Structure 1
């Protein structure tokens, strides 16, 4: 039995949306994923794949269009924290940005009414999906949108999705938004892919998954594994950009529950949420701790790498001990070796307490999970989530410090709503949006 690191109780300062709490139950096991990967690879000759796919950049170019998914639970109740986040975000994004919104049928009218009230009809294309499909708020993950040289948009989906409801929702999105939809035998999730101007980064966890799914095809005499994997991902996602796989060599802990004493009572705490055994990433998606920020005047590409140690020092706590800060340091060093200009920004590890269930859940208040727009050296904007709210007022100084770091890089900083309600479930603003088109 461990003693709690901090005795102070911090209950939610927002209503808990139970549907998001349950979404982790929709998980395919490894064997099922491998079967689907092989099946999809057998179907390749029946699909029209883009011959020269180009990914939509994560930072470079004007934000012409984004996709959002709005499930019914994101509008339920009086003071819904997710609806607050959506409306705040849409109104703060540029006036030229268009939105592809996929909503559950039962809330279509409510979304439509709000769009009309804000006079946004000319910028919003609204499509619906039946309520029976368990679509989530995580628009980022289920597909990558690629364009062929003629500008035709293709929705490229991995062979499987650990959340089957989102996969089915994307089927409706493709049909109603007029996108070509193709399935490919490699595994990826959008949050684990970041796209630069002439490169893209992939969290190595999914490179490993793809190798395990297709190892019989990828093995063979003289085959260089990295080269084979790179060719596979480039074939389906982007033939022109260089692929870098991002990982740490340190052994990392998987998600765990442990018993603690908190104010004399028996509680349990949940650590390393969403990390699987054998993970090579300190957080399950790289967009939670890496942000692309365009090139500097000398032509080096800026990458912000979250630093839990700096955040702990600012807040005067020792929570970074639970964050394996060495793994973040090692990834920062890897990016420097790859000739990126690395900037470290505070990435706090925080928690929320459920006194009824007697559970303390740890999560990252991620500022790296932001939206970025680089039009030129003179015209750069970032939309940053904030966390200095409710029982975490002291995070206002971390909100401010992250803002200063971006301003130091020449960015206009637009601060967004309270993102604790999403961060508790291992996401933030980048996770609930999908870049569809850049200028």
Structure 2
């Protein structure tokens, strides 16, 4: 998957969060790892099953949230009280009786436990997975696996991709296996939790990792071999069927052609040159690198048709009075929305904001020229230089750095349950200096209420959005009830 050069990105925007969800996403050739043995956190011990017979992914929307997993990398997140408050707002809204698996540093357990018990969650409902303090991991650890059960014997698994290079997140599944009754397993495929959504009669895989899987079979990094006459695409689909979900067909969501977008764009407004960082969250075939950032699952309507929401920057710009720009990639969102509609899925369009924010940094054109000279193979920074020079910028000029990130309510938790009714847990953004985003919060609340959902508005998730992730990214549905 094409990702921007991290060293250049941080040279341009040194104050950016170091734990952005997009970093560590670039694949490399590597060997395999073994899985550790399983110990049950329930009173009984579960024997490992040699391979799944009928893998079935845990739904992204259907049923009550019985068990949910969080990974808390540090408390109080290096002084980031906004992040702590956001987590607490989610814990407060989740139903009393929900079970939790908490990945944490041992030293933080007492603090985290109070987050739960102080609002009525029973400490007995928490399974603790301690991680040594010297192991680095992120709160995006749910991306390192998908949750599924073997419908043959009702055992639950975390299925890991062949490789996952971000931080220590790839160690989490094995630790969970050690402390709980979940098993960890590994598939010879490329995927991430946030690029998978699980509907009723189908599941969605973002095209970027589908294509990565094909590419890594072709260069023999993955141990998958096609039979004579078998198409690579058929081999990939068969492998996802065998390892990930045997109950539902896979829908690949993405554009047909690669999205032509440079990570940086040089523009001019009034008499100022501007360096826009526009491509940090974009994938080769996806307007945002994970589908959970721009698609929400709703459920089946009374006619039996499945309904989803797909984000629209145009609607977001309309809400905020922002101009539409080419790098908002409206056409890519529209193409993906049409691909679902063609399959008979009812598609609602909701506002999603590609949000511009000046970083306060000014960078000399001469410095950018040097970056381009030092990195002649990097198309992004060389494209930026062409933009600025064509606008008349010269060595002694400076450009103001403006970063773009996605403000999205699509990244939420959904419960469409017989027993508990219909609930959605929505991030909010209209806080502090971002009060203009309140209009988005209220629009999304009304939109879900119009679909007969009880809306649980959560706290301020701006600090997550700036790192290219929100609520669905920091949690993993492990088990659903009716």
TM bucket (normalised to shorter chain) is: 0.7 to 0.9
Cα deviation code 1:365-399 (max 9, x no counterpart): 11110100001499211111111122322221221
Q: TM-score, normalised by structure 2?
A: 0.79
SS at match of 1:249: coil
Aligned partner of 2:442 among 400, 403, 406: 400
Count residues with an aligned counterpart. 411
Separation in 2, partners of 1:139, 1:308 = 27
SS at match of 2:108: helix
Bigger mean CA offset, 364-373 vs 102-111:
102-111
Offset, 1:262: 7.0
Q: Is 2:268–2:274's contact at 8 Å kept on the other side of the alignment?
A: yes
> Aligned pair 1:166/2:169, yes or no?
yes
Q: Is 2:27–2:163's contact at 8 Å kept on the other side of the alignment?
A: no
Q: Can you give the 5+ residue segments of structure 2 that lack an aligned partner in the other structure?
A: 1-14, 35-47, 363-399
Offset, 1:224: 3.4
Bigger mean CA offset, 341-350 vs 263-272:
263-272
Q: Which residue of 2 aligns with 1:338?
A: 343
Q: TM-score, normalised by structure 1?
A: 0.87
Q: Can you give the 5+ residue segments of structure 1 that lack an aligned partner in the other structure?
A: 1-15, 41-45
> Aligned pair 1:184/2:187, yes or no?
yes
Offset, 1:314: 1.9
Cα deviation code 1:313-346 (max 9, x no counterpart): 1221114432110111111111011110111111
Aligned partner of 1:245 among 237, 252, 255: 252
> Aligned pair 1:411/2:443, yes or no?
no
Bigger mean CA offset, 250-259 vs 163-172:
250-259
Q: Which residue of 2 aligns with 1:195?
A: 198
Separation in 2, partners of 1:114, 1:384 = 19
Offset, 1:140: 2.6
Q: Which residue of 2 aligns with 1:118?
A: 119
Larger Rg: 2
Separation in 2, partners of 1:328, 1:61 = 28
SS at match of 1:122: helix
Q: Which residue of 2 aligns with 1:303?
A: 308
Q: Is 1:56–1:435's contact at 8 Å kept on the other side of the alignment?
A: yes
Are the structure 2 counterparts of residues 101 and 123 from structure 1 closer, same or farther at C-alpha, using a change threshold of 3 Å?
same
Offset, 1:24: 5.6
Q: Which residue of 1 aligns with 2:146?
A: 144
Separation in 1, partners of 2:401, 2:181 = 45
Are the structure 2 counterparts of residues 114 and 402 from structure 1 closer, same or farther at C-alpha, using a change threshold of 3 Å?
closer
Separation in 2, partners of 1:310, 1:50 = 43
SS at match of 2:142: coil
SS at match of 2:168: helix
Root-mean-square deviation (Å): 2.5
Q: Is 2:64–2:420's contact at 8 Å kept on the other side of the alignment?
A: no
Q: Is 1:257–1:269's contact at 8 Å kept on the other side of the alignment?
A: yes
Q: Which residue of 2 aligns with 1:36?
A: 31
> Aligned pair 1:207/2:202, yes or no?
no
Offset, 1:259: 4.4
